[in-house]
Chain A
C-alpha cells in the first residue's frame, strides 16, 4: 500500500529552468493538494483538485501550474524557476467531505532549491 508517492525527493534547478513535480496516489481519493513549506513555516496551499479535470488555485498559486487528467496523478509544474520557489513541496490526497476517514494523506515531500 504505497499511499501518496512524490518524485523526485530532491532537485536543484537553475533560475529560469522548468520542471514537473510528480505526485501519484493509490487510494482512489478524489481530492488532491499541493503545498509548499518554507523553512520554519507552516504549509501554504498552492493548488488543489476535487477530481479529474478539475483544479483550482489555493493561497499561493503564482508561478505554478497543475493538471489532473486521472484520479491518481496530480503533477505540479514550475515554468520559470525563481529563488523564491526554493522550498519543500508536499502533495496530499483525501476523500471529500468531513468526518471519519476524510483525513489527508501526505507524501514525503520534494526538496527544491533554485540557484
Chain B
C-alpha cells in the first residue's frame, strides 16, 4: 500500500485559493489518487479522483505531476464552509484495504 504524507494543518482566509499537497513516493503504476473531505460529526465524502495530469470538477482541481509521486488538491476561493479535514488516499477505494491517514485540517478564517 502506498503511504501518503500530508501537512497536519493549514490556515487560509475567505476568497483565497488553497493548495494541499500529498506525497506518495511509492505509488504503484495502476494506483489512482483520491481526495475526501470530512466536516465535524460527519462521515468523509468524496471530492475528486485522478490518475495523471489535471482533473477538475465543480468543487476542486487535482494536479498530478508526471512522476505521480505527489498530488495537489486545489480549492478555489475558499469560504468558511470549506473548513474541514481533507484526506489523500492512494490505491483506490475498492482495494482490499482502504486506509485513511490523519488528513489535513484546513481552517478558513473570515
A contact residues vs B (CB 8 Å cutoff): 4, 31, 33, 35, 41-45, 48, 50, 56, 58-59, 88, 90, 92, 94-100, 102-109
CB distance from A6 to the nearest CB of B (A): 9
Report B's interface with A, CB cutoff 8 A.
Answer: 30-32, 34, 36, 41-46, 49, 51, 85, 87, 91-103
B98 near A48 (CB under 8 angstroms)? yes
Considering the complex, give the chain B residue whose CB is closest to the CB of A35.
B100
Q: How distant is the Cα of A94 from the Cα of B43 in the complex, in angstroms?
A: 14
Report if A99-B43 is in contact (Cβ < 8 Å); known contacts: A42-B87, A42-B102.
no
Bound: A99/B34 CA distance, A: 9
How far, in angstroms, from A105 to B91 measured CA to CA in the complex?
A: 16
Assess whether B41 is in contact with A109, with CB atoms less than 8 Å apart: yes
A41 to B22, CA, bound (A): 18
Q: Which of B30, B32, B85, B94 contacts A96 (CB 8 A)?
A: B94
Q: Tell which of A92, A96, A103 touches B34, judged by Cβ atoms closer than 8 Å.
A: A103
Contact in complex: B46, A59 (CB < 8 Å): no
B43, A31: Cβ atoms closer than 8 Å: no
How far is the CB of A48 from the nearest CB of chain B, in Å?
A: 7
